[in-house]
Structure 1
């Protein structure tokens, strides 16, 4: 959000300085009826705790690769920013066997077991709930993250020009990611205070950009909708009104 921001973590710090109380991510899962709204401050707190877990408990270092096997979800957004904070490369839908760390949802545990390093599982239950029984061989994110510190400082400075994100065969540094997010925000017409509703999955750059990075770069917020097809007739229009949405992408 400032000209000097060169990583997604920089963008989040600027957002926290500018207006910590404004909404940043509002998440809906229309298959379960879940709605979660995170202010900049609350989202940043989750990122700090997750970054401490990643760096401290999981011993991740800058340049390590993390296979992120999660759908479009507010907790996925948290992990993306935590990776940026530590300097870990987030490989979205990446090869678990080639990763140093894997973070998996309940539907990808079999794939995630190919990782020979640290494994973390998310139940993706409402309000960040834990698994009734933790999957064997995995740390339960909902159990591990609450005890982590509310402030984060990386052991080593994060290089903006180092690899930061892998998605669909695209590799981006932190600086390249921020630049593309700014370009996308401009193309979408996002300005500070805008509200972008995105129903795109997190399986492409377009989905990640609309569902997180472009709004963050613009000082805007995102209404992230999973399973948008489950909405009843007229439901989308009602949501656009109730959430004061200014921009929409399918």
Structure 2
């Protein structure tokens, strides 16, 4: 990526300019058999729509806090980059009572009700399906609302690289710190460019999981094979996946 990139949103813009067609996030759920592959362009489109939802639909402003009560998932990755694009703080597994907004997945809806601000629910069902017959009480359905938002995003205010961007496991990182750490992690993991593909079975509730599952591959110009419930896959299945997905490094 470019040496001038100082926020996660900068990294995504550089990836889009370099090669929009290449894979960026390949997601597996070994509990459901789901596989989803998102190119840089497709991922960036989801990020743009979600950023517009945040900025215009939810009236989120730089410095606001969004509690992300979500597992390692491709839609969680979208929300992380959308938060970075708007300048709001993505508080991973954060306290909903201290957040301005909450985005929650199955198993976390009751906890998310502690947030007095707007709440969005994600079904995390294959293909990002909406809730049937409707979302949990107190929530709007992300899958219903996000398609109506624009495919291009422009922040109303420039994102400050020195402002808080992510909180995970009690540690706060600015955008600039995040990019610097991700670059260091990419080098340590042997991610050297577009051909690099990191398979990660880690959760998003630690820096190591966030970096391996999104930021380090993005910072290196590589891609991630993000696996949820990898413990349910046998070693033979994992070995075949590593081969078929042309994985160059693994973190489990």
Q: Which residue of 1 aligns with 2:38?
A: 38
Give 1:102 shift: 0.3
Give 1:136 shift: 1.2
Whole-Å separation in 2 of the counterparts to 1:64 and 1:42: 26
Give 1:230 shift: 1.1
Q: Which residue of 1 aligns with 2:174?
A: 173
Q: Which residue of 2 aligns with 1:98?
A: 98
Q: Which residue of 1 aligns with 2:7?
A: 7
Does residue 168 of structure 2 align to residue 139 of structure 1?
Answer: no
Which ranges in structure 2 are unaligned for 5 or more consecutive residues? Answer: none
Give the number of aligned pairs: 250
Whole-Å separation in 2 of the counterparts to 1:201 and 1:169: 15
Give 1:169 shift: 1.2
Does residue 165 of structure 2 align to residue 160 of structure 1?
Answer: no
Give SS of 1:234's match.
helix
Give 1:233 shift: 4.2
Whole-Å separation in 2 of the counterparts to 1:152 and 1:219: 22
Whole-Å separation in 2 of the counterparts to 1:186 and 1:5: 16
Q: Equivalent residues in 2 for 1:24-35 (5 A)?
A: 24-35=24-35
Give 1:232 shift: 3.0
Cα RMSD over matched residues?
0.6
Q: Which residue of 1 aligns with 2:223?
A: 221
185-194 vs 10-19, greater mean Cα deviation? 185-194
Whole-Å separation in 2 of the counterparts to 1:155 and 1:106: 32
Which ranges in structure 1 are unaligned for 5 or more consecutive residues? Answer: none
Give SS of 1:146's match.
helix
Give SS of 2:154's match.
coil
